Amino acid sequence: MRNDKENWAYFLKNGNCPRCHGLRKVEPGMKTCAVCALKNRESNRQRRAQWAAEGRCHSCGRELTDERYVTCELCRKVRGVRRSEGMKAKRLAWKAEGKCQECGVRWAEAGKTMCKPCLKALKDRDRRNDPDHAKKYARRQARVEKGLCIDCGRKAEPGKKRCKRCRDMRRESEQKYRIKKKLAREAQRRGSIQNGV
């Protein structure tokens, strides 16, 4: 005689609902028929409502140790692990496709793992969390008002925010960055062509 687990596998193998013992066919992408799924959903809803009324964990029914949460510590940990593992897998898939690891919608910048808007958001977030940023910004504004270079504090060129030396250095570093970015884009394009994408 088959046990419950074997019965369940037997009904599913034949495409029948194991909950109602094969009376109805299973729904596509599900392990039960629509009627049993609805009954199961309703019984779960009632059970969770009862646990909530009794001040127990909404997920497993254990006693709550912290009143700030509706689930117990164990359920929160399990959910957190599942969520982080799922997100990690998603981000690896996005990275393999060349998409932004943060949003997975836009293409990543050349030589980076994130798109431009997400990189900007990350930079802004870092600035907001940086206590020295307000000081740096105030110093920069004071230098602009006095007509000094915002980088080194020397006299700025008329109508500019930087002195000639700092402007030349900045222009040179931007040119190097553009060349580096262009080479990275070309390498990425060559790689995608070789992979047949």
| pLDDT average per 10 residues of sequence, the chain (197 residues) | 74 87 86 89 90 87 84 84 81 87 86 87 74 76 89 88 90 88 81 60
- In whole angstroms, give the CA distance from residue 39 to residue 34: 9
Instruction: Give the N- to C-terminal CA distance of the chain in Å, as an integer.
Output: 54
Kindly calculate the radius of gyration of the chain based on its CA atoms and give it in whole angstroms. Answer: 30
pLDDT in tens, 128-159: 666 677 777 788 888 889 999 988 888 998 88
Contact (Cβ atoms closer than 8 angstroms) between residue 35 and residue 24: yes
**Torsion angle of alpha carbons 74, 75, 79, 82, nearest 10°?**
60
Domain ranges of the chain: 1-54, 62-97, 130-194
Instruction: For the full predicted model, state whether its pTM sits above 0.75.
Output: no
Q: CA angle, corner 166, sides to 162 and 169, nearest 5?
A: 140
- Note whether 120 and 106 are within 8 A (CB): no
